Structure 1
Amino acid sequence: MTDRVTTPRVIYLGGLGRSGTTLLERLLGELPGVVALGEVVHLWERGVRAREPCGCGEPFPTCAFWCQVGDRAFGGWASVTADRVLMLRRRVDRTRRIGRIAHRDLAEYVQAYRLVYAATGARVVIDSSKHASLAWCLAASGVDVHVVHVVRDPRAVAYSWGRAVARPEDGRPMTRWGPARTALHWTAQNAALELLARRGARVTTVRYEDLLAAPERTLTGLVRALGLAAVPELPFVDGQTAWLGPSHTVSGNPMRFHVGRVELRRDDAWTTGLGAGERRLVDALTWPLRARYGYSGVTG
């Protein structure tokens, strides 16, 4: 994995899980010339090893798209490659390394992502891996990456992480976190992406609530900021409704399997579902970033 390759433009969706990155990825993936890949950071464990289904519904090993990517990138998907990348990830791709991301194995680790991106044959790819540490790795290695920093009210995020949700891949429950852990991770991930922007990386911030309040206006502004089109056309969005086609996302929120009509409306169940004590705890642990993003009011 040491040969240089020509990497397409990468739109990297960063932020804490349950912040709306999967929805945004699906919407951007409807643009001409843009291919949404899902959370590529989990490709090795969930795709190659566990053989979980692609967003198109096919098991990873039999999905024609991912078979072609594997053949082009590595001569086929092999557990030895996945094991190597996962080992490198444990060494290099760590939140605690942010700010001093240079590591002797960084180039080899990022090269695996370069090969995957290039093997899609796309002009622009979307990687919704979320992790700020991987965004740092890509930027530090010279990948042509533009980070879209997706933020959502931490109280809504905490409520979402506390809910019991079954994984459509196997029916097992998705990971659940308590309010304190969610708040600490929300602060850490968002602070890390803020620091990445201050270090000179291209970072554009989008609030999940703005996307749902004004889908066309928010997407149009984002598409222009990303340099994808001077005058964006969004035929797949009509007011508060969007139409999504099939996608080949390797991992992500259950919404990655959705095809067809989707209503773009915000879920404010947290305003009644999150207890007063839990809300105060999240408020305390996420200040002042929460206020910076405009989440000082009751409804965000």
Structure 2
Amino acid sequence: MTGPARVLFIGGLGRSGSTLLERLLGELPGAFAMGEVVHLWQRGVVDGERCGCGVAFGECPLWTEVGRAAFGGWDRLDAADALARKAAADRTRFIPVLARGRLRPDMRERVDRHNDLYRRLYAAVGRVSGAEVLVDSSKSASLAHCLRWCDEVDLRVVHVVRDPRAVAYSWSKVVRRPEAAEGSAEGEFMARWSPARTAAHWNAQNAGFDLLARAGVPTLRVRYEDFVAAPADTVAEVAGFAGLPDAKAPFVDDVTVELSANHQVAGNPMRFRTGRVELRRDEAWRTAFPAAQQALVMALTLPTMTRYGYRPVTGRS
């Protein structure tokens, strides 16, 4: 890879189908799926959680080589400093400042120090993998706003949205994290949020990506519901947007794909699944999510959900 690293950043709120989309994009010739890189410093370097290939992060040959190329080895990286750089620049509350046409000198210094880690990491992944496009499914709007200021990154954003009622239902469920190492800071289970909290995060993350698009970052919005209805067409559209117009995912038929092993560093547990997978629209929320909670989520997200094309009626209607 020469020139700026071409990064296809998958953004949005978790439980919106981002891991599934990344898995398909990672099968494209010329693309490499990195997983949720925003969590690499804690879950990978510090906690040693499992890579998508199944082995601990520190034992994965690919990530070992990336660490050597980027930092002289992961043991040479000050993980505490990396997390401090994130805390100083990559926060949701900083988005209004990061979205401006110019940064104040002190903020620019913090953003540049933060971005230096990603600049080195992306460049190393490009060299080790040989990929033209690096897929980062971090989802974080604040991270994307930070990367906007990095000249060494050719940033393109796929903004994934899903009906907020479906997202809230998913966040209410108990989901085990099979990759968690003993003593992991993230714990054995994925976080659970109340419907109100999920609605607040759904509003904030999507507003952040809408703002990023208005700031001039190339952005393609993908609705989960449209994606699972026509996965091959959606992947082809995203591939063209990423600069890989001729790349083809290994679809067996219109809704079935063959997934190979990967090296995603964090994300939904489905990143460990390989083999033939049939893509189906998950509509369980319509009957399993109480109508009162659906109504609450609708009330809290109404302006944005209708703008994205979602009907403000309960799934039981």
1:160-179 aligned at under 5 Å gives the runs 160-170=170-180, 172-179=188-195
Deviations 1:204-225 (A, max 9, x none): 1001111100111121222222
Moved over 4 A (4+): none
- Kept in 2: contact 1:242–1:263 (CA 8 A): yes
Q: Is 1:139 paired with 2:148? A: yes
Aligned amino acid, residue 281 of structure 1: L
- Kept in 1: contact 2:25–2:249 (CA 8 A): no
Aligned amino acid, residue 290 of structure 1: M
SS at match of 1:205: strand
Aligned to 2:136: 127
Aligned to 1:53: 50
Distance 1:43 1:129 in 2: 10
The size of the alignment, in residue pairs, is 295
Deviations 1:257-284 (A, max 9, x none): 1111111101111001111111111001
SS at match of 1:135: helix
Q: Which runs of 5+ in 1 are unaligned?
A: none
| CA deviation after TM superposition for structure 1 residue 79, in Å | 7.1
SS at match of 2:280: coil
Q: Is 1:153 paired with 2:163? A: yes
Which of these residues, 261, 265, 285, is aligned with residue 280 of structure 2? 265
Cα-Cα RMSD: 1.7
Aligned to 2:222: 206
Aligned amino acid, residue 113 of structure 1: Y
Aligned amino acid, residue 95 of structure 2: I
Deviations 1:273-300 (A, max 9, x none): 111111111001111110111111555x
| CA deviation after TM superposition for structure 1 residue 124, in Å | 1.1
SS at match of 1:37: strand
Aligned amino acid, residue 268 of structure 1: E
Which of these residues, 40, 45, 70, is aligned with residue 37 of structure 2? 40
Deviations 1:224-257 (A, max 9, x none): 222211x443333521111111110000000111
SS at match of 2:193: coil
- Kept in 1: contact 2:255–2:278 (CA 8 A): yes
SS at match of 1:191: helix
Distance 1:220 1:298 in 2: 32
Q: Which runs of 5+ in 2 are unaligned?
A: 181-186
1:186-197 aligned at under 5 Å gives the runs 186-197=202-213
SS at match of 1:192: helix
Q: Is 1:276 paired with 2:276? A: no
- Kept in 2: contact 1:97–1:133 (CA 8 A): yes
Aligned amino acid, residue 141 of structure 1: C
- Kept in 1: contact 2:29–2:248 (CA 8 A): no
